[in-house]
Structure 1
Amino acid sequence: MSILSSTFRLLSLAALLLTVAPAAHAQGGLGGGRKGQRLGQLENAKIAFITNRVSLTQDQAQKFWPLYNEFSTRRRELNRSGRLLRRDVTDGMTDPEIRDNFNQAFAMRQQELNLEKEYFEKFQKAVSLRQVAQLFQAERDFTKEVIKRVAGAGGPPAIDTN
């Protein structure tokens, strides 16, 4: 697996974890308040982590977070569609059906790339180019930290935002 592919997968996991959190928290959790509380804590930790890493001023944060939330929502929708495509491949499919499924998955990945490019430009209207670069690095670092902690502790504990 290439570095770009693994980075994309890590970012997708973080996006999934953090974009599911608000919906789960608003609905009282996924089957229980404790799980929803953990997802809410994860979302809050990501916000604090990114705000700290990117050194957002209050003015920048007011412009940045609505854009970032919009970006996350759109990315989550694309990731969900992509997961459904990958899950659809079955032993009963013909070769043309499998090829079509892959072509759809490739198109979905292209849409994700286009979305990142679109928001790369939009983010620069709220924060500096350097801060945009720091944002993408902070997302990767946060995802790595979440994976490390989940694998080591069986659940997402509080994440140090410094």
Structure 2
Amino acid sequence: MKYLLRTFLLLSMLVAWPLAGAQAQRGGGQQRQERLSQLESARIAYLTEKIALTPEQAQKFWPLYNEFTGKRRDLNLRLRRLRPNQADGLTDQQLRDNLNQSFTLRQQEISLEKEYFDKLQRVISVRQVGNLFLAERQFTREVLRRVASRPSGGPDGLDD
């Protein structure tokens, strides 16, 4: 019964997200926030289902996972800021420095994943951790597929 309820919740969120996106195109920043909130809810439901979290595990897992994703998001943001739109405006030294900083940030991301792999194993099984990383990629692919299939919207699919 729990499986059916979670599956229904997940499917309804994944179906509702593109509809909310269409409505949000007519509105402003608040609707964008609502869409992102809905997307986050769908992600939580999806990951909870895919890694089969018990309520006890979920209570310990989500704060740790949110900490991890926040740190990972920060590293990715810093990495994106280093990538210039055009390399023509930079000197060779600036390009070299940017590339070296990019390598450092990517290495930090690997270290972060290793650190949280160890931490997550204290809360959920190694199989669940493996399923988590797989489910993250699957969820991202599904969201990108849905955004790409939308009739309108910008390149990120999150236009206001």
In the superposition, the TM-score normalised over structure 1's length comes to 0.74
**How far apart, CA to CA, are the structure 1 residues paired with 2:144 and 2:66?**
22
After superposition, what is the alpha-carbon deviation per residue over 1:43-80, rounded to whole angstroms, capped at 9, x for unaligned?
Answer: 00000000000000000000100000000110111011
Of 59, 67, 86, which aligns to 1:70?
67
**How far apart, CA to CA, are the structure 1 residues paired with 2:28 and 2:69?**
23
Q: Which residue of structure 2 aligns with residue 127 of structure 1?
A: 124
Structure 1 residue 31: deviation in Å?
4.2
**How far apart, CA to CA, are the structure 2 residues paired with 1:96 and 1:57?**
52
1:48 aligned partner, one-letter code? A
After superposition, what is the alpha-carbon deviation per residue over 1:130-149, rounded to whole angstroms, capped at 9, x for unaligned?
Answer: 00000001000000000000
2:66 aligned partner, one-letter code? N
**How far apart, CA to CA, are the structure 2 residues paired with 1:52 and 1:62?**
15
Q: Which residue of structure 1 aligns with residue 22 of structure 2?
A: none
Bigger Cα Rg: 2
Misfit runs of 4+, over 4 Å: none
Kept in 2, the 8 Å contact 1:89–1:101? The answer is no
Structure 1 residue 89: deviation in Å?
5.8
Of 101, 105, 108, which aligns to 1:111?
108
Segments of 5+ residues of structure 1 without an aligned counterpart are: 1-29, 157-162
RMSD of aligned Cα (Å): 1.8
Of 143, 146, 150, which aligns to 1:149?
146
In the superposition, the TM-score normalised over structure 2's length comes to 0.74
1:108 aligned partner, one-letter code? L
Kept in 2, the 8 Å contact 1:60–1:127? The answer is yes
Query: Structure 1 vs Structure 2: percent identity of aligned residues?
Result: 56
1:65 aligned partner, one-letter code? W
